[in-house]
Amino acid sequence: MKIDIRLATTLGLTTLSSLALSQSASQPRPNIIYIMSDDHAFQAISAYGSPISKHAPTPNIDRIASNGMIFNRCLVTNSISGPCRAVVLTGKYSHLNGFVKNEGQAPFDSGQQTFPKLLQQAGYATAMIGKWHLGSDPTGFDHWEILPGQGNYYNPDFITKDGRHVENGYVTEIITDKSIEWINTAKNSGKPFMLMMHHKAPHREWQPGPNELSLYKDVTFPEPATLLDDYSNRGRAAKEQDMTISRTMRLIEDLKLYPESATTKNVGLNRMNPEQMAAWDKVYDPIIRHFYESKLSGNDLIRFKYQRYMQDYLACIAAVDKSVGEVLDYLKENGLEKNTVVIYASDQGFYLGEHGWFDKRFMFEESYRTPLLIQWPGTVKAGSVNNDIVSNLDFAETILDMAKVPVPADMQGMSMVPVLKGKTPSDWRKEHYYHYYEYPAVHSVKRHYGISTERYKLIHFYYDIDEWELYDLKSDPEEMKNVYNDPVYATIKDDLHKRLEKLRVKYKDTDESLKSFLPSK
């Protein structure tokens, strides 16, 4: 709204300031598109510059970094799908939002306060499309269309208010089309909009789409230095997990290496139609033949499995990257780019062979960190890089603040809006609290909580174990050596113990709370 100076002079100063106020209040609130993939490691985004991503670039996700800000240390509070999603929605730690793990868990209490509900109440058009994974139906959305549980890659089922139906095609492309279709309607609603667009990809079992089937089949990816980790210098937790490429990753279901003689060729791929199956076989049959002829064993087999894993995982990501490009193009072509915030994140990080692992759960960097890139033209300086400790705990507050909606006092994160403006407050967090609960369970990662600072990490593994681990990320960025009992670190250890206890009090995650989530033995 432009103020007519002559009119303003006539009306007088008081009215002028109220006009200025109403002008500021009537600045359009930004549209917000929150794109979240599932298990997308930062190592697999080329804007983060890892060796793997040089062979499998993500030019469209990288566009968000060039247009806005890339975060080098966005940490999750509990590295597993459903709990991360619940933290994002509520801005509260798992023990307070009640959704602490994926398995053996009551559905998410959808009656509680979430940021989409608050946005909806504040006049935003809201939608949730894609992977939800919280057991209960979404609330706070004008429109929602979700995958059941983990969802399927090919011809997936979707659940809406009206029930369950099949959609033909590849899940990443379907979610993209549905999202753009919704934005196309929402942009004419007279309201600002907020979309949560949640990809299933690149979750296990990593089935590439029809357009990416052969993309990386002949590419050899660089191996992480710790692929053949023997877990020496660490405690039982690293030794007793069940998420190794060597032992846990399955040849048939995970790597799709069906023996030619197998009558179970369709196991895991049984949603494909004959045409999709034929296209798949054309690419995978020669790989399968070659594998069984090679008779690999030992470290050669681990190395082969790692390559197959990367080829499929990164091909799934290529479709996600294309999807991000389509959304960005759509915004540009429809004049929405300037007033739309685009956030790209994963639900958590993931191991791409580091420590010989796949999967997540541990408070070690690869799964503790999640990629985060945000563009907000006019507010976030293009090409900026942030090294502050931010968290998925902050997402709800940040999005509310972007939308100028008051942040409820019981949310536990911090609005990143000042950080996005390049003005990190002096009292921004210097340490981050983590708590993982899903044990005993698949992958056997023991329960643990801990504190991380910029340089150090103190972790307590508990339940059927009582072990402390301390890592110095500066001297040991790959977290290969627990220095908890090294006298050199005695003072640092004491300091971290004190700070950890303070954080547990601050976030209301005391021993009492911890015990309430223990399984009955």
Binding footprint of Ca ion on the chain (CB under 5 A): 38-39, 81, 347
The span from the CA of 504 to the CA of 473, in Å, is 22
146: which strand partners?
Answer: 130, 159
The span from the CA of 107 to the CA of 398, in Å, is 26
Half-sphere exposure of 267 (CA within 13 A, CB side): 14
Residue nearest to Ca ion (CB): 81
Q: Closer CB to Ca ion, residue 101 or residue 265? A: 101
Q: Closer CB to Ca ion, residue 81 or residue 276? A: 81
Closest distance of CB 34 from Ca ion, Å = 15
Q: Closer CB to Ca ion, residue 68 or residue 83? A: 83
Q: Closer CB to Ca ion, residue 39 or residue 312? A: 39
Closest distance of CB 133 from Ca ion, Å = 8
Amino acid at 459: I
Tokens 């290496």 sit on residue: 257
Closest distance of CB 81 from Ca ion, Å = 4
Q: How distant, in Å, are the alpha carbons of 54, 227, 371 from that of 50?
A: 7, 15, 12
State the sign of the Cα–Cα–Cα–Cα dihedral 419, 423, 424, 427: negative
Closest distance of CB 93 from Ca ion, Å = 18
Q: Closer CB to Ca ion, residue 44 or residue 400? A: 44
Instruction: Tell me how far apart the 2 most distant CA atoms of the chain are, in Å.
Output: 90
Q: Closer CB to Ca ion, residue 147 or residue 483? A: 147
Closest distance of CB 347 from Ca ion, Å = 4
Structure token pair of residue 386:
């942030």
> Of how many residues is the chain composed?
521
Reference 317, options 154, 214, 201; nearest CA is 201
State the sign of the Cα–Cα–Cα–Cα dihedral 83, 85, 88, 91: negative
53: number of Cβ within 10 Å: 23
Q: Closer CB to Ca ion, residue 175 or residue 331? A: 175
Distance of CA 193 to the CA centre of its chain: 22
Structure token pair of residue 215:
């993309």
Q: Closer CB to Ca ion, residue 124 or residue 309? A: 309
Q: What is the dihedral of CA 44, 229, 361, 318, to 10 degrees?
A: 20
Closest distance of CB 37 from Ca ion, Å = 8
The span from the CA of 447 to the CA of 445, in Å, is 7
Closest distance of CB 16 from Ca ion, Å = 53
Q: Closer CB to Ca ion, residue 62 or residue 347? A: 347
The span from the CA of 516 to the CA of 446, in Å, is 17
Tokens 């972790």 sit on residue: 459
Closest distance of CB 351 from Ca ion, Å = 12
Closest distance of CB 393 from Ca ion, Å = 17
